[in-house]
Amino acid sequence: MIKLTKLSPKTRRILNGFVIVGSILICIFFSFTRLPGMELLGIGPNWFIIWVVSWSVKRTVFQAIVAGLTLGLIQDGMTSSYPSHVLVFVLIAFITARIQKQRYIKEDLMSVVLIVFMMSLLAETLIAFQYVISGIRPLDEIWIDYQQIALSSAILSSLWTPVLYYPLNNWWENIKALE
């Protein structure tokens, strides 16, 4: 195993880039996969929200928004562009970065799990709102589905947060300590 301290700063940045892209690819893979314990009422965790929150909690607002924009575009590319995930992820990234800047919430695992839970609820609310505005489905159908989807997604996303957050946070802290 190569120690990070022996690598040049340029090599560490490249390696960090690979870790970032690799973790996003893992999120894409997990979005299509349903392992045991990864599904509740036909709904799985929102891996992209977990990643955006994990990234945004220790970044500037600008860096968070860029990550939200990027992952929103990836999500829209994988599903459909309406309702837009871009707006949702950018808002989640912005709010998460601002929460961290206010220092109301510590940067520990339990705080991040709580943020993921709340942001998952917010994401599903905003997507349901986009459906209401577009008039694609009747409001009563949206309301019934929303309750089930929002709660299931929030519970599973928060439960699976440590799987993604812990190794990424550990990696980013090690990289930051070497700068």
Kindly report, residue by residue over 71-130, the tens digit of the pLDDT.
999 998 888 767 788 999 999 999 999 887 666 666 688 888 999 999 999 999 998 888
Contact 165/55 with Cβ under 8 angstroms?
A: no
Per-residue pLDDT, averaged over 29-53, amounts to 87
Location of structure tokens 């314990």:
37
| CA separation for the pair 64, 49 (Å, rounded) | 12
| CA separation for the pair 139, 24 (Å, rounded) | 34
Q: What percent of the chain has pLDDT over 90?
A: 45
Smallest CA-to-CA distance from 84 within 69, 66, 62, 64 is with 69
Residue type, 162: P
Report the CATH fold assignment for 8-178: Arp2/3 complex 21 kDa subunit ARPC3 (1.10.1760)
* Residue pLDDT, tens place only, 44-61: 899 999 999 999 998 899
| CA separation for the pair 105, 97 (Å, rounded) | 11
